[in-house]
Amino acid sequence: MSDSETDDHVTRIVSRLSDKIENFALVIEKARLHEYAELTVHPWKLILRNILYGTARGVGIAIGFTFFAATIVWLLQMLGKLNLPIVGDYIADIVRIVYRQLEIRPY
C-alpha cells in the first residue's frame, strides 16, 4: 500500500466513525438520557415530579369519572321519564334495591 492509499483508507475509516458518532449522539439526544442522568443525581426532583404527575393524574381521573357518572345518571333519569315498560321497571327495581340497602346500613 502506498501512502496515498493508506491516507484514503484512514480518511474513509475516520469519516465512517464520525458518521456513527453523530448518529449515536442523535440517538442519545432523542432518548433524553441527560435528563435521566440528572434525575439520578438529584433524586428529590424525581420524587417531586412523580408526586406532581400522580396528583394531576388522580385529579383527571376523578373529574373524568364524575362527568361519566353524571352522564349515566342523567340518561337513566331521561329513560325513567319516558315510562318505557321494560326499562322503567328495571330502573324502579334498581331504585328499590338502593333504598333497601340504605335502610339496612344507614351511614
Grid coordinates 456513527 are at which residue?
20
- Domain ranges in the chain are 1-41, 47-106
Residue-by-residue pLDDT tens, the chain, 107 positions: 566 778 788 889 999 999 999 999 888 888 787 788 888 888 898 899 999 999 999 999 999 999 998 888 888 778 777 777 776 777 778 878 877 877 776 55
- Read off the pTM: 0.49
Whole-number Å distance between alpha carbons of 65 and 82: 26
Whole-number Å distance between alpha carbons of 81 and 85: 11
Whole-number Å distance between alpha carbons of 53 and 39: 15
